[in-house]
Amino acid sequence: MQEINNSPSDDVLIKLQDIYKIYHMGDSEVHALDGISLDIRRGEFVAIVGQSGSGKSTCMNIIGCLDVPTSGTYHLNGVDVSTMKDDEQAEIRNKMLGFIFQQYNLIPKLNLCENVELPLLYAGLSPAERQQRAMASLARVGLEDKAQNLPSQLSGGQQQRVSIARALAGNPPVILADEPTGALDSHTGREVLSFLQKLHKDGNTIVLITHDNSIARQAQRIVRLADGKIIYDGAADRPEAVVQPDEFSAMPITPAEEVQAG
Amino acid sequence: MDIQQAFKMSFKSLMASKLRSLLTMLGIIIGVAAVIAIMSIGQGLMNSVNEMFSSLGSNIIQVGLYVRGESNRTVTVDNMYDFVNENQELLCDLSPIVYIQGQVKCGNEVMERPSVSGVSEAYDSLQLLKLSQGRFLQYVDVARKEKVCVVGTYIVDNYLDGEGMGKIIKINGENFTVIGVMEQMGDNTERSEDNQIFIPYTNALQINGTNFVDSYGVNATSKENIAPARLAIEAFLEEKLSGDGFYYVQSLSEMLEEYNKMQNTIVTVLAAIAGISLLVGGIGIMNIMLVSVTERTREIGIRKSLGAKRRDIRLQFIIEAASTSAIGGVVGIVLGTVVGMAAGVLMNTTITPTLSPIILSFGISVGIGIIFGYLPANKAAKLNPIDALRYD
Ligand SMILES: Nc1ncnc2c1ncn2[C@@H]1O[C@H](COP(=O)(O)OP(=O)(O)O)[C@@H](O)[C@H]1O
Ligand SMILES: [Mg+2]
């Protein structure tokens, strides 16, 4: 909280304004995101929580420039990215964003080093520089000795560490993690989480998606979604932060600093 | 993304499913191999025919005459010489050719079917004959009916103890002295050009008991003059003989040209038919690439999420398609060349692979990869990153 309050208000890195994402399923409409407004400052560690189907992944995909909102605007680092073309968004993803997915999303036929090199490849780095930085990144997650292995030769926790190394390789300011511990046992899950905390201390902005309250509490700030709306946005250490949605109806709404809960 | 990396990645993909890559290439391999084999066999055939003809003078025009016995219209040797003299800008080196059927002996030994022809002193320039010893017939030999002859190596080696000059050969009982030995032209067997004897045509006519020469050879003064010379001779013979006789006038080089043209057409048509399998191969590549794009949708999504632009993805898939067909092309070139050379051995000619069809078919196979790879590559490039990532 200290950091958030001390940050100047113009240091907002991620600014979502009135974001809607509507899917048409035959005659019915699904409001995956139903009017979301959210500011995330540089250096924050935010957990987005909510039940399955509440819109967390949709929200992250929009923050990650993997998807475009039906309406609303999204400024990343002061630039409106919601109206950008495919290739411009690719450039933003490459320079600004590092992804950690629940399913690791490594390319099976490439070895670890080549997997980690991918963002650097698309950034246009020379082969020598790619290799050197990929190895350094693998070393950060303690897997440099397995650089020539294929992902299938690794455990789940190790694969997730590779995907973290890949997210870090290009040194992007924002790390987005969608249920990074979802496929891991609790021990390796904690390992991954402590790694994210380390990254946060190093100055990265981290958005973590989880449905697990105990994991969410490791963040500074929790944003809780239900049915595509924000129902809580505030410090992670307040008791209301971890309230279950079904208990929620009995609780008073706690407005966040700038964001009105839906 | 750099091209080098794209090649590396496409190689990885090809190696990841070797059997499939091989089957994909098969259409291109067969197509290219067929085109190369057909073209080199055609080239080999043409070479061997041209070789055969090149031993004859290339400007030679052959004239054949047939006159009805009861007719008084005819063409005499003098007529032919006069005509050539009047058309010196078109014609030179006239020689009557008179074949002799008869017994040829050396001492008491009867020679096995040598070809004996009476010719003029111009005959060596007509047929590009070269002598290894002595001289060819001269004008005086012909004019004075000298009993002299020029022989081939087979006769020298088999009947004249390897020493031709000055020996006597008996043709239908008349003695002819060897004044020249020709260089070996064929394989020095009984059936080759080396079993030949030339004598003055004046003697030959006497032996045959006739004045009429039914066969001539004459040279056009240049390659360009072959056609006009042939037409002039035809006009002359038509005027002399029309209705009362038959004649033919043919130029070897024109015949050869006709033959080459015809064969070129056949080879081109065959190669084009073989080329259709290249097209089929291209469609096969497109098909597999479309399957591959679908299978690798998730990979494409991952790459896009990491910052791959459309052209990066497109380049990757196009290079993959192009290298598939290029490798197929190279294999096909090797296969086709081997088949062509094997056919050359069977046809008894040397078939040397020529560069242009090789470069052409390599280029075509790369081109096919690019053209038929473009559609799937573009499909991959246009995938929405989030849809691609979710795909499984
Ligand atoms: N591509 C899609 N087409 C239709 N509906 C979708 C699509 N993606 C997500 N949804 C719907 O949007 C809602 C939010 O999904 P999601 O963001 O994945 O939730 P979460 O990640 O919180 O589980 C769900 O009701 C889901 O069914
Ligand atoms: Mg989700």
Q: One-letter amino acid identity for B4?
A: Q
Can you tell me the mean pLDDT for B215-237?
91
Full pLDDT tens readout for chain A, 262 residues: 444 444 445 589 999 999 999 999 889 999 999 999 999 999 999 999 999 999 999 999 999 999 999 999 999 999 999 888 999 999 999 999 999 999 999 999 999 999 999 999 999 999 999 999 999 999 999 999 999 999 999 999 999 999 999 999 999 999 999 999 888 888 888 888 999 999 999 999 999 999 888 889 889 999 999 999 999 998 888 877 776 555 444 444 444 444 443 3
User: How much distance in Å is there from the Cα of A30 to the middle of ligand 1?
Assistant: 8
Those residues with Cβ within 8 angstroms of residue A70's Cβ, 6 or more apart along the chain or in another chain: A20, A21, A22
> Does the residue A2 lie in any domain?
no
pLDDT at B272: 87
* Annotated domain spans of chain B: 3-53+258-390, 98-212
B71: confidence class by pLDDT, cuts 50, 70, 90: low
Determine contact, residues B46/B258, Cβ cutoff 8 Å. Answer: no
User: Which residues in chain A are contacts of B306 at CB distance < 8 A?
Assistant: 93-94, 99, 118-119, 122, 166
User: Which residues in chain B are contacts of A134 at CB distance < 8 A?
Assistant: none
pTM score, whole prediction: 0.74
Determine contact, residues A189/A208, Cβ cutoff 8 Å. Answer: no
pLDDT at B54: 66
Q: Nearest CA to A176 among A110, A109, A96?
A: A96
Can you tell me the mean pLDDT for B35-45?
86
> Does the residue A108 lie in any domain?
yes
| Tokens standing for residue B213 | 């020469």
Q: What sign results for the dihedral spanned by CA atoms B156, B158, B162, B165?
A: negative
Q: Does the Cβ of A53 fall within 6 Å of ligand 1?
A: yes
Instruction: Please list, residue by residue across B296-332, b when 16 or more beta carbons sit within 10 angstroms of its beta carbon and e when fewer do.
Output: bbbbbbbbbbbbbbbebbbbbbbbbbbbbbbbbbbbb
CA distance B64 to B55: 21
The domain total for chain A is 1
Asked which of A21-25, B243-247, B288-292, B295-299 is least confident by mean pLDDT, the reply is B243-247
Q: Is the pLDDT of residue B48 over 90?
A: no
Of residues A87, A107, A119, nearest to B309 (C-beta): A87
pLDDT tens-digit map of A109-131: 999 999 999 999 999 999 999 99
User: What percentage of chain B exceeds 70 in pLDDT?
Assistant: 98
Determine contact, residues B130/B158, Cβ cutoff 8 Å. Answer: no
DSSP label at residue B53: H
Q: Is the pLDDT of residue B203 over 80?
A: yes
- Give the three-state DSSP class for B143: helix
pLDDT at B1: 59
B70: confidence class by pLDDT, cuts 50, 70, 90: low
> Does the residue A3 lie in any domain?
no
> Does the residue A7 lie in any domain?
no
The number of beta carbons lying within 10 Å of the beta carbon of residue B281 is 28
Identify the nearest ligand to the CA of A25 by its number: 1
CB pairs under 8 A between A and B: 68
pLDDT at A251: 46
Instruction: Select from A110, A122, A133 the residue whose CB has the most chain B CBs within 10 Å, as the one to mutate to test that interface.
Output: A122
Q: Nearest CA to A77 among A4, A16, A12, A17?
A: A12
Which ligand 1 atom sits nearest the alpha carbon of residue A21?
12
Q: How far is A159 from chain B (nearest CA, A)?
A: 15
pLDDT tens-digit map of B128-186: 889 999 999 999 999 999 999 999 999 999 888 888 899 999 999 899 999 999 999 88
B122: confidence class by pLDDT, cuts 50, 70, 90: very high
- Write the CATH number for A19: 3.40.50.300
Pairing mode of beta strands B245-251, B60-67:
antiparallel
Which H, E and C letters describe B175-187, residue by residue?
Answer: EEEEEEEECCCCC
DSSP label at residue B388: H
CA distance B258 to B264: 10
Determine contact, residues A221/A228, Cβ cutoff 8 Å. Answer: no
Instruction: Tell me which residue range forms the domain holding A41.
Output: 12-258
The number of beta carbons lying within 10 Å of the beta carbon of residue B367 is 16
The stretches of chain B forming alpha helices (DSSP H) are 3-16, 18-54, 77-86, 123-126, 139-143, 153-159, 201-208, 226-241, 252-295, 297-305, 310-347, 355-381, 385-390
> Does the residue A196 lie in any domain?
yes
**Helix-helix angle A112-123:A86-96, to 10 degrees:** 120
Of residues A101, A106, A122, nearest to B307 (C-beta): A122
Can you tell me the mean pLDDT for B61-66?
90
Can you tell me the mean pLDDT for B341-362?
83
